[in-house]
Amino acid sequence: MGRRHLFMQTVALLTVLSGTLATCTSQVLAKENALKETYVNRKKPLKGGTLKVAYPSNTSFKGNFITEISTDGETDNLSYIGQPGLFRQDRDGKLKKGGLADVSFDKENKTVLVTISPKARWSDGQPVTAKDLAFVYEVIANKDSGSVYYNEDIGSIVGMEQYHNGQADQISGLQIKDDKHLLIHYKEMTPAMEYAGSGYLWNDALPYHYLKDIPMSKLAASEQARHPLSYGPYAIKKVVQGETIEWVPNKYYPKKPKLDRVVEEVVPDAQIAEAMRAHKYDMVLDEGEATYAKTRSLDHYVTLGALRHGFNYMGFRVGKQGPDGKSVMDKKLVTNDRSLRLALAYAMNTEEVTKRYGHGLRKWANSMVSPAYGAYHDSKVKPYYHNLKKANALLDKAGFKRGKDGYRSKPNGKKLTLHVLAHDAGKGYEAIIKNYMQLWKKVGVRTELVNGRMMEFNNYNALLESNSEKYDIWFGSWLLSSEPSVAATAAYSPSSSFNHGHFVTKENTELLRSLNSQKAFDTKYRIAQMHKWQAYMQKEAYVVPLSYTYGLTVVGKNVKGVTLDPSKQLTYWENVCLTK
């Protein structure tokens, strides 16, 4: 399944579907867990019918279906059936012909030509146009829209920076040749552009004719954002806010959908296993690991799995967001002490946690780049092994002295208390976080949960995005696209709205720039630079990688046409049908 977003913050242990097996490395890992990426059902398909789909989550979806101004993973994944992206891709996530739009590159003239299929139409019958594609960039770059996706990548389009800063009414680098052709002018061409999930070329369209009269500042709260038009196989008929979405065929889609209705329902994690035993649903999107352990032997379901491109992590807040929106380091923060960061990392028993709670569906992370990226993942980077002796030695040497109460003070003698931000993802996840806090207590570091408790996911996300100083450490999980450099650039560049730790160093910025430089068109050089970045991040420990996980899709044996291989079609939803 291709992604329209570069990445998103997701619910740890219950993260959203990545759906892409990019490399042979992923296939090997999947084989170890006996997970397949395609379910072959040879039964004769039924005509029409209603497909019932469960989405396990303790968090309600917000229901803003304009993904460019949303960070809600639940809504994004539930809406994939109607907004699957425009571009076809191969198994590595690279662009290929045959989508609702195709792409051609002119490196010499630094342009990308997007050609929209004459068959691409919105669910109201209007054709998808070049203006609809250009409008995506306008929404992201307009400060009034509230989009958090503007960054240096999209800023490389000619005239984009001037538009973003309010110095121009239009983006000069977006040239509408005619209704079906958009020519994009860039300052420089990059290897990331060759992928469907890059931040340079957005894989989406917005219906300009449907949204044009809404002020940018009111777009997110508009009725149109909650009842969108679709260009995918299905269109929304009815939404029960936060609970269910009913889809019906988009009669203007080039390939006639095979179902009469699809009903997606958010189901609390505690209830999903019992519902599966009763065969209440035909499919389950993003099955959790604990549920998999309880239901893997059910005869009427098949579990498909793919190693995600993202990872679970712990981050340190080491700065703040400046007036210009860019991250700035704050040397006064105690978390800027590398010895403290490393000590907390070595105190953690992450390997044990991964084995105990992963149900065979998690891999202990050694770096910030998933093995799903193949050669771009550096397997030689050493993970942070559980070593309390080393953790204590690091703190002692750095001047964090223990008091009579067993807790350490800062090197300046002041009290040390670190505030931990984590979201509520069930009792198992809370046990993991409190386990880490107990281990930090053993090495003399006092920690407290923000507000004294695990936080509801939407509130947690809002706090991360608010430039808050309430947390020093946070636990999170990224879902990333298949474009390799996104693992580094998406959340760790100075201008990224997702740089929640506000980590900025000269060396990091130089490494990030090298990943999409002209030299990086040489794959060997790009891989080498990605390896350098992983080694640098592991040395500095601004972010502690915890685990790599699988995205699971459960398919009833009465369902046909589902595959997680993105190279097979634009979206599997155009082929899904019911059988006996």
d(CA 324, CA 339): 30
What pLDDT is stored for residue 33 in this prediction? 59
Q: For the purposes of burial, counting CB atoms within 10 Å of the CB of 110, is it exposed (0-12), middle (13-18) or buried (19 or more)?
A: middle
d(CA 575, CA 41): 12
Give the residue ranges of DSSP H helices in 150-212. Answer: 160-164, 208-211
Q: If you compute the radius of gyration of the chain from its CA atoms, what whole number of angstroms results?
A: 23
What pLDDT is stored for residue 363 in this prediction? 94
Question: 328: Cβ–Cβ under 8 A, 6 or more apart, which residues?
Answer: 319, 320, 321, 322, 502, 504
d(CA 157, CA 187): 6
Q: Strands, DSSP E only, in 352-414? A: 362-364
Tokens representing residue 221 in the block: 């709260």
Question: What secondary structure letter does DSSP report for 383?
Answer: P
CB 565 within 8 A of CB 21: yes
3-state secondary structure of 550: strand
Angle at Cα 441 formed by Cα 439 and Cα 443, nearest 5°?
80
What pLDDT is stored for residue 380 in this prediction? 97
Sign of CA dihedral 386, 392, 393, 397: positive
Tokens representing residue 332 in the block: 């006064």
d(CA 410, CA 415): 6
Tokens representing residue 405 in the block: 């109460």
State how far Cα 179 lies from the chain centre.
31
Q: For the purposes of burial, counting CB atoms within 10 Å of the CB of 153, is it exposed (0-12), middle (13-18) or buried (19 or more)?
A: buried
Question: What secondary structure letter does DSSP report for 374?
Answer: G
What pLDDT is stored for residue 413 in this prediction? 95
What pLDDT is stored for residue 427 in this prediction? 81
Question: What secondary structure letter does DSSP report for 195?
Answer: B
Taking only the tens of pLDDT, the chain with its 580 residues reads 334 445 455 544 333 222 222 223 333 344 455 789 999 999 999 999 999 999 999 888 999 999 999 988 889 989 999 999 999 999 999 999 999 999 999 999 999 999 999 999 999 999 999 999 999 999 999 999 999 899 889 999 999 999 999 999 999 999 999 999 999 999 999 999 999 888 899 999 999 999 999 999 999 999 999 999 999 999 999 999 999 999 999 999 999 999 999 999 999 989 999 999 999 999 999 998 889 999 999 999 999 999 999 999 999 999 999 998 899 999 999 999 999 999 999 999 999 999 988 888 999 999 999 999 999 999 999 999 999 999 999 999 999 999 999 999 999 999 999 999 999 887 888 999 999 999 999 999 999 999 999 999 889 999 998 889 999 999 999 989 899 999 898 889 998 889 999 999 999 999 999 999 999 999 999 999 999 999 999 999 999 999 999 999 999 999 999 999 989 999 999 999 999 8
CB 24 within 8 A of CB 421: no
Q: How many residues does the chain have?
A: 580
Number of Cβ within a 10 Å radius of residue 328: 14
What pLDDT is stored for residue 30 in this prediction? 40
Biggest CA-to-CA distance, the chain: 75
Residue 430: name the closest of 351, 347, 353, 345 by CA.
353
Question: What secondary structure letter does DSSP report for 424?
Answer: -
Tokens representing residue 185 in the block: 């002018």
